[in-house]
Amino acid sequence: IVGNNPFILMFKEFATNAQYEKYADLLLNGKMRTIFGLTEPLHGSDATHMETRAVPHEKDGKAGWLINGEKMWSTGMHVATHCMVFARTSGNDGDATGITCFIVPADAPGVKVEEYLWTFNMPTDHPRVSFTNVWIPEDSYWGVIDRGLGLGQSFVHQNRIRQAASSLGAAVYCIEESVKYARMRKPFGKPLSDNQAIQWPLVELATQAEMLRLLIRKTAWQMDQMEHKAIERELSDKVSMCNYWGNRLVCEAADRAMQVHGGIGYSRHKPFEHIYRHHRRYRITEGSEEIQMRKVAAFLFGYMGPRRKEFADLTWDDVDYRNQR
């Protein structure tokens, strides 16, 4: 079962006791539905450069925060009770610290849906939302002031592995349906599957799907075995591998399914065009595939992750083979 409520795990791992007392029942009983407000009109993958700001502000004698900014792709705003708004509260653009995760009532004065952004995968529930002089009480945040980026990283890691599993399932469906159709369809008096031009692309996709399944299961198992907050430091490269490869694979599988099925595959009488439209966005959301590959590279070359010390201690004696026979 592939769930899509990473807020539960985020809350469990990062909320303080006081925040748990305030929000836990609402969240667990489905009475609190939140959007994830990280991306902005001018800032996507460069989240630490966000322009949304929150400053301390007293109102009617009560301490609180005043928030100003905009968020893009605020999925589910039409049914949300609250907005999870990431805003800079200290530091400079680009700093990982100084970002706080605020919980803003969706109907608070100054919260406005500016437009719904229509996409390749219509209809849409992805609006651009503005926050203009939105005041909230002082304790309306999750986690710790200035340390909210960890919540955002938690969210994307959970969604990345979920996306990978979802994309794998859809890819396998496309492959299997194409195999069945190729066996049954008989142009020119013989099964379509007799042609190696049909066989080989599906063989490649089926092989990749088998390898991806094992990597997803291994990575998900490892995520379950370690402390949640250690995933970013120790395993996020494997999560990124699963994500970018799974999302790319399903697009290739859906495209191949349309080609194998011919005209009917391109039509809406078959689900392949919908699968392509739906999963194509996963190559962008929760970090584009370029961001995923960048994370893998950082771990592979020791710029971050478990191999950092190994490469810091590396000398030419370890890699210089010029005088070896």
Tens digit of each residue's pLDDT (9 = 90 or more) over 226-247: 988 899 999 999 999 999 999 9
Centre a 10 Å sphere on the Cβ of residue 43 and count the other Cβ atoms it contains. 17
Residue 269 covered by a domain: yes
Residue 312 covered by a domain: no
3-state secondary structure of 82: strand
pLDDT higher than 50, residue 2: no
Look at strands 82-88 and 34-37 and give their pairing: parallel
Residues 256 and 294 in one domain: yes
Dist CA 77 CA 36 (whole Å): 9
**Which residues neighbour 163 within 8 Å (Cβ) at sequence distance 6 or greater?**
243, 246, 247, 282, 285, 286
Residues 187 and 205 in one domain: yes
Residues 19 and 156 in one domain: no
| Domain end marker among 147, 179, 209 | 147
What is the per-residue pLDDT across 283-298, written as a single tens digit (0 to 9) for each? Answer: 998 889 999 999 999 9
Residue 169 covered by a domain: yes
Total domains in the fold of the chain: 2
pLDDT higher than 80, residue 135: yes
| Domain end marker among 147, 172, 191 | 147
Residues 261 and 143 in one domain: no
Residue 60 covered by a domain: yes
Q: What percent of the chain has pLDDT over 90?
A: 74
Confidence (pLDDT) at 38: 93
CATH number at residue 218: 1.20.140.10
Higher-confidence position of 280 and 229: 280
Residues 143 and 284 in one domain: no
Residues 112 and 96 in one domain: yes
Confidence (pLDDT) at 158: 86
pLDDT higher than 90, residue 27: no
pLDDT higher than 80, residue 323: no
Q: What percent of the chain has pLDDT over 70?
A: 96
Instruction: Pull the structure tokens for residue 114.
Output: 């500016």
Residues 117 and 158 in one domain: no
3-state secondary structure of 37: strand
Confidence (pLDDT) at 322: 61
Computed over every residue of the chain, the mean pLDDT equals 92
pTM above 0.95, yes or no: no
| Domain end marker among 147, 165, 182 | 147
Centre a 10 Å sphere on the Cβ of residue 275 and count the other Cβ atoms it contains. 22
What is the per-residue pLDDT across 3-17, written as a single tens digit (0 to 9) for each? Answer: 556 677 778 888 888
Confidence (pLDDT) at 5: 65
What is the average per-residue pLDDT within 29-57?
93
Residues 92 and 178 in one domain: no
Centre a 10 Å sphere on the Cβ of residue 15 and count the other Cβ atoms it contains. 19
Confidence of residue 160 (pLDDT cuts 50, 70, 90): very high
pLDDT higher than 60, residue 1: no
Residues 107 and 194 in one domain: no
Nearest by Cα to 151 from 102, 101, 103: 101
Q: Which domain holds residue 252?
A: 150-304
Dist CA 20 CA 12 (whole Å): 8
Q: Which helix (H) or strand (E) holds 170?
A: helix 149-184
Residues 136 and 221 in one domain: no
Strand ranges (DSSP E) for 38-110? Answer: 53-56, 64-71, 82-88, 99-105
Residues 80 and 171 in one domain: no
- Terminal-residue alpha carbon distance, the chain: 55
Residue 323 covered by a domain: no
Residue 76 covered by a domain: yes
292, 243 Cβ separation under 8 angstroms: yes
> How many angstroms separate the most distant Cα atoms in the chain?
84
Residues 109 and 32 in one domain: yes
Residue 272 covered by a domain: yes
What is the per-residue pLDDT across 68-127, written as a single tens digit (0 to 9) for each? Answer: 999 999 999 999 999 999 999 999 999 999 999 999 999 999 999 999 998 888 777 899
Across-strand partners of 68? 53
Higher-confidence position of 210 and 15: 210
